Structure 1
Amino acid sequence: MRSILLLAYLFLQTAAAWALKPSREWVATPDSLALRYQTTALATPDHAQLAGWIVEPAANVPDQHTTMVLAYGDMNNMSHWLYQAQALSQGGYRVYLFDYRGFGHSSDFAIERQRLYYPEFTTDLRTVLADARQRFPRSRTGIIGFSMGTIMGSEVAARGGCDFLIAEGYSANPQRIVAEQFGRYQKTVTLPDEAADYALVARRVHCPWLLVGGTNDKNTPLADSVVVARQARWRQRRQVLCFDGGHLEGFYRLTEAAYGDKYVREVTRFLAGKRS
């Protein structure tokens, strides 16, 4: 158990960097963790080819009848998120992992390493979410996003068709990230033109939204998530789940008997409409 926690923690630390660092090589596949899964191959509206895995709920737990599309951060690929998928599967959730274009086994995409993110990644997430809804029409279907993936997640959720949004390490202000995180190191990082309108996205997210953040997160401060939750208007249900730790350490910190078990229980409470 200790070795699993350490490995998962190291994955999270490598996933916490900013600016794009995709990896083409999968470090593992779901069967290496004895997960029940199927592979998928999707085409986006602009003809990118996306590789994916659908991890089924564990056989020995109650099925939540819920599908979570996982949108990870700015580096590596979906294989680095298998421990999180395993924890969610043990909680009764179906988890749909995928590689953005230019990542993992998805199609080639010209990526400038100094770019923070590309709007095409939002297209990728929207395509996978639509596929999940089509495959599992009786399932509650939403997004769980991390770091850069919260940008994609909130943009997709703002367009509707999403039953819930879970965002850990919520990126509220890409411009500030570029100025503060990179300015001090005199490193040039660019943003897409679409980032100029990103500040307007949060107010258009109407599905239930759980914002998860660490008290010591220097990259995406917990205070940003608190502000977004407090800005909820009538019929917008938003809640903050905080933990003692840094950027993307939620599953690691919210662990009791098994990796991420407390994290998953808190997600379940939120989706059931309960407060922590």
Structure 2
Amino acid sequence: MVYAIFSASVLLAIGAIYVGAIGWLYFRQERLLFEPAPLPLDEPICDDEDTREFFVEVPGARLSVAQLMRPNPRGVFFFLHGNSGNLKKWFVELDAFRQANFDVVMLDYRGFGKSSGQIESEEQLRSDVVAVWHQLAPMYEGKRVVISGQSLGTGLAAGLAAQLSSEGHAPDLTLLVSPYSSMKVLAAELYPWVPLQVLRYPLHTLEHAAKLLGPVMLIHGEKDELIPIRHSETLVKSMRSAQLLRVDGAGHSDVHQFPTVRKALMSALGRL
């Protein structure tokens, strides 16, 4: 009798801890998904003379944006970065784009770098991306447009590219580096004990990928353990015109450092 009561008490305690953990994940999952690094307002993102930084006003926040501006660019490379750091980390290695004569535009999400506010929902995150694009789009009327993202940013990039495609303004290239088929699928792989209903950022990349018009390039490291390459394999099968560059020896965080990636990017931009 005592043993049964003790066992029941232990199960109840474990259940309470589990429910508490799930509740914490539901309301505080931004802490797990996003790793922003603030940046002082007076600290330059980049000192290069052909770059500038500015803010785009969105409801409840100001988003920090960095832009490489060529005298007469062939087009623009609109890039959505991963879940950590800030533009100081991501707005680098611009010479390749200068050689290709492409402007580069990157933004920091809410709470990242000099951007104010906090990320509160996927809808808000996607809306912010669209707002920044619409602010810059008139500058590139008649120019080549590349929508790109890496890691977390791939779901956002696919969503923006799909929206532009539906509006009759399909990007000339959609480039996704280390993409996931959806955050929901990835979460199920990494945290099988967590109910999928808890995830407030499902980021269904696959649904958007199927709607993309125009060329699509996927780049994925063969040794990526965070987002396995099978996610890119799933995505490429659903697309109308896509190619997958498998980077031998590359993991998740270092894939962009491999010469084959730079060569493929420059070749793709040169063909536009």
TM-score (norm 1): 0.73
Q: Match for residue 54 of structure 2?
A: 40
Deviation of 1:148 (Å): 0.5
Distance 1:22 1:80 in 2: 11
1:47 shift after superposition: 4.8
- Within-5 A mapping of 1:91-240: 91-109=100-118, 118-160=122-164, 161-163=169-171, 164-183=173-192, 191-192=199-200, 195=202, 199-232=206-239, 236-240=240-244
Distance between the aligned counterparts of 1:226 and 1:101, measured in 2?
31
Per the TM alignment, residue 42 of structure 1 is displaced from its structure 2 partner at its CA by: 1.2
Deviations 1:115-163 (A, max 9, x none): xx73322112212222222122232122120001001011111112341
Any unmatched runs of 5+ in structure 1? 1-16, 112-116, 255-261
Which residue type is aligned with residue 192 of structure 1? R
Q: Does 1:51 align with 2:64?
A: yes
The aligned amino acid for 1:77 is N
**Alpha-carbon spacing, 1:211–1:110, altered in 2? closer, same or farther (3 Å):** closer
How far apart, in 2, do the equivalents of 1:96 and 1:47 lie? Answer: 22
8 Å contact kept, 1:122–1:153: no
How far apart, CA to CA, are the structure 1 residues paired with 2:96 and 2:204?
Answer: 35
What is the aligned length?
234
Q: In the alignment, which residue of structure 2 is the partner of 1:268?
A: 266
What letter matches 1:216 in structure 2?
A: K
**Residue pair 1:91, 1:265 contacting (<8 A) in 2 also:** no
Is the 8 Å Cα contact of residues 73 and 148 (structure 1) preserved in structure 2?
Answer: yes
Offset at 1:97?
1.4
| Overall identity of the aligned pairs, in % | 19
Residues 55 and 189 of structure 1: is their aligned pair in 2 closer, same or farther, counting only changes over 3 Å? farther
Output the TM-score relative to the length of structure 2. 0.74
SS of alignment partner, residue 156 of structure 2: helix
* CA deviation after TM superposition for structure 1 residue 18, in Å: 6.3
Distance in 1 (alpha carbons) for counterparts of 2:142 and 2:116: 30
Name the SS for the 2:33 alignment partner.
coil
Aligned counterparts of 1:223 and 1:253: Cα–Cα separation in 2: 20
